[in-house]
Amino acid sequence: MDANPWPKQGKRKKEKGKSVGGLLFMAVRSLLFFSFFLFPFSFSWGGPKPDSYWQVDDVQPGMKGLGRTVLKGTKIETFDAEVLGVLKNTSPGRDLILCRLSGLNLEKTGVIAGMSGSPIYIDGKLLGAVAYAWPFGKEPIAGITPFCQMHGYVAAFERRDLVERGNKPNRVGLQKPLTLGGRDFETATVSQNFDDPNPTSTDGLWMVPLRTPLCASGFTARSLALLRDKFRDAGLVPMQGGAATARVSEKEKHTPLLPGGSLAVSLVTGDFDLSGIGTVTHVEDKRVYGWGHPFMAAGACDLPLMTGYVHTIYPRQTVSFKMGSPLRTVGVINADVSTCIAGWLDQKPDMLPVHMRVTLMPDGEIKKFNVQVARMRPLVASLVFTVLTNCVDMEGELPEELTADLQARNEIEGLSPIVFKDTYSGWGYSSNRLP
């Protein structure tokens, strides 16, 4: 495992610079060498032993076990779990195990977003990962993604396993009726999508995938609003957060990645940070499984696999969530399939470097920002646009009428740089903020 601490965020450098013909100048330098679907890993690896985890057909109602997760800092704690039933074919080739959770104050908070991936063990064997919740439920009822299907789908690496938008929630009959909160349930509805209408307390036993808290550090409120629009249907909840303090980062820099520990995945790192946080399900040699549901359903990917720190739990009536921060990169997430995310330790992600300079007024001081953005084809344009907008927003309110000179320089490996220049002027382009 990489022993290097998570690199500290770079400080913004200031310097005097000449005007480039307008009130606003921004230069963006990036290395646009896209390698979205490469397979740089060539490990000869047979996977976890089949006798170390449960097969779905062997799971019976009434079985009891233990789960592991982090609710504060990096300390892994245990909670109780009882199997209520098995839902077969909730989507093609997928099953879901219903469990009642208890302990760690879950009776009050309910199942928590950020617990995604929390492993459940019965008789010392891995059952699966907490991945679904019952919004507005009176009891902490969780949907568990069987680990046998997490491992199987990652091993197959099939794009057909990805969540298809537009799939309707599937109502599945229970082998035995359940009595929960004084009500009897004979069926359970399982949603595979994050964009379904939010169920209410009158909709019965309705299981939805746990959303992923997406902690934003250094982003303005307007930039976060742009992200929320882009991630509305992706199961991500962008929220204003902050990086872990230098003291915490130093203290926790050697925290190992263990089942039940926090597993963060970053889309943006550097002067600004944008990271999702969940939980590690299983570590086998250098192979890591987590979350129990997809991140962006991207299939093959190349994202930073990071340890994480939980600041607190934010309780809500629907689904509570963890507020946390990433700590350090320890590997690469290379598989994002419908049952989980998975990656390898001791590998380095290939990120897109973006360098930005902003100055107001002629001969004003130049402020520099440096970030790295995930090379995900559906997101890279939105992420770059957001970080560009954010570095300008950090200058505060702009005049309603202004002239902005924009220059973007793109360096593509093996080719001459491509430079874009444009000028924007008038109140219609700014409205106190850069468009």
**Does residue 19 surpass a pLDDT of 60?**
no
Name the 3-class secondary structure at 84. strand
Secondary structure (DSSP) of 239-277: EE--PPPHHHHHHTTT----TTSEEEEEEEEESSEEEEE
**Does residue 165 surpass a pLDDT of 50?**
no
* Phi-psi sector, 52: left (phi>0), alpha (psi -120 to 50), beta: alpha
Q: What is the pLDDT of residues 395-413, one digit of tens each?
A: 766 766 777 777 888 888 8
Higher pLDDT, 104 or 220: 104
Closest to 191 (Cα-Cα) out of 213, 172, 212, 174: 172
Name the 3-class secondary structure at 394. coil
Break the chain into its structural domains and give their ranges. 14-35+352-430, 50-209
**Does residue 10 surpass a pLDDT of 60?**
no
Fold classification of 50-209 is Thrombin, subunit H (2.40.10)
Contacts 24+ apart (CB under 8 A), 168-174: 169/193, 169/196, 169/206, 170/89, 170/90, 170/91, 172/87, 172/88, 172/89, 172/90, 174/85, 174/87
Q: Quick one: which H or E segment has residue 106?
A: helix 106-109
Q: Which residues pair with 94 in a beta bridge?
A: 91
Average pLDDT rounded to a whole number, residues 376-386: 85
Q: How confident is the model at residue 185 (pLDDT cuts 50, 70, 90)?
A: confident
Give the separation between CA 263 and CA 329, rounded to whole angstroms: 10
pLDDT of residue 117: 96
Give the separation between CA 106 and CA 245, rounded to whole angstroms: 28
**Does residue 329 surpass a pLDDT of 90?**
yes
pLDDT of residue 34: 29
Question: Beta-strand (E) ranges in 134-270?
Answer: 141-146, 170-180, 183-190, 206-209, 212-217, 236-240, 262-270
Q: What is the pLDDT of residues 335-360, one digit of tens each?
A: 998 899 999 999 999 999 999 988 87
* pTM, full prediction: 0.78
- The mean pLDDT value of the chain amounts to 79
CA dihedral 205, 208, 213, 219 (to 10 degrees): -120
Q: What is the pLDDT of residues 32-76, one digit of tens each?
A: 332 223 333 444 456 788 889 999 999 999 999 999 999 999 999
